[in-house]
Homo-oligomer: A and B are copies of this chain.
Amino acid sequence: MNKAVLFQQIKIKKSFLCIGLDTDIEKIPTHLLKEEDPVFSFNKAIIDATATCAVAYKPNTAFYEEYGAKGWLSLEKTIEYIRSNYPEIFIIADAKRGDIGNTSAKYAAAFFDKLGADAITVAPYMGHDSVLPFLNHKDKWVILLALTSNIGSADFQYITSGDKKLFEKVLETAKSWADPDQLMFVVGATHPEEIGLIRKIVPDYFLLVPGVGAQGGDLQAVANFGLNKECGLLVNSSRGIIYKSDKEDFAIQAAIEAQKIQHEMETILLQKGII
């Protein structure tokens, strides 16, 4: 998927919502535990209930790897289900990978060719040759960590060299590696004040913004600082949507929550003249 197609979906759905499929068997409704694959059953219900509101889904691999090969199978089935039933939706493997060149090439094969994701999150620490192998896949995306939503982001991402913080250096360096049709950046919603600064460094790149909802980020502030003329934002909510209820009505409650966020996003997109 390229950027134009993604923006088209945003305009059609009037939404820039990404839903994180961080599916934890200890948090899903107990009635699903009798299913053959409770994680997939949960995801399927969540996806069917929210697909009209979401332009992207983002399964985080940790939640699947916890169950080993069986968990990886749930992940494969989930991505295949989205791909078959909602081909317009952008699928992000939130994997935070990155290794030496020949190894990153294997990760690219794993996530793009085998699993069929559109995008993968990548950690920048190992530099350009850990990232470039992912960019050899046409219409596939790297979403590079820049400024993360957690408190530990302060440990290294804010280190200052000259007049630049490390996350600024990551943005400035990485934008020479790929254009905005293959590269996005992760910027936590917990740093709205920095999103404006980041938007100046990478005006045309999409930002994937986690941290709205359970982590405390504010959608309106993120939008004020981060929107560009092609939207330029995918705002993620995971726990705030998928665990809205732990009863049999979990999918309906997730749909209601996703619709609520979609309505807020629609209002914002209209106000800003983007749709």
Q: List chain A positions with a Cβ less than 8 A from chain B.
A: 22, 24, 60, 62-63, 65-73, 76, 94, 96-101, 103-104, 106-107, 109-111, 114-115, 123-131, 145, 148-157, 159-161, 166, 169-170, 173, 215
Contact = CB atoms under 8 A, between A and B. Distances in A.
B60 A127 contact: no
A54 B69 CA distance: 27
B96 A66 contact: no
Contacts of A115: 68
A64 to B, nearest CB: 8
Contact of A150 (B72, B97, B101, B110): B101
Given A66-B106, A114-B67, A125-B123, A173 B161 contact: no
A161 B160 CA distance: 6
Residue from A107, A115, A170 having most chain B Cβ neighbours under 10 A: A107
Given A99-B60, A123-B98, A114 B152 contact: no
Contacts of A22: 103
Contacts of A104: 62
Copies in the complex: 2
28 contacts: A62-B107, A62-B110, A65-B110, A66-B107, A66-B109, A69-B70, A69-B76, A71-B110, A72-B72, A96-B98, A98-B123, A100-B148, A100-B149, A100-B150, A101-B150, A124-B156, A125-B145, A127-B148, A127-B153, A127-B155, A129-B150, A130-B150, A130-B152, A156-B166, A159-B161, A159-B166, A160-B161, A166-B166
Contact of A128 (B73, B149, B152): B152
Contacts of A66: 106-107, 109-110, 114
A67 B69 CA distance: 11
Nearest to A127: B152
A68 B151 contact: no
A107 B76 CA distance: 18
A161 B161 CA distance: 5
A62 B103 contact: yes
A124 B125 contact: yes
A4 B115 CA distance: 41
Given A125-B157, A129-B152, 18 more contacts: A24-B106, A60-B103, A60-B106, A62-B103, A65-B106, A65-B114, A66-B114, A68-B72, A68-B115, A69-B70, A69-B73, A72-B72, A100-B150, A123-B126, A125-B156, A127-B148, A127-B157, A159-B159
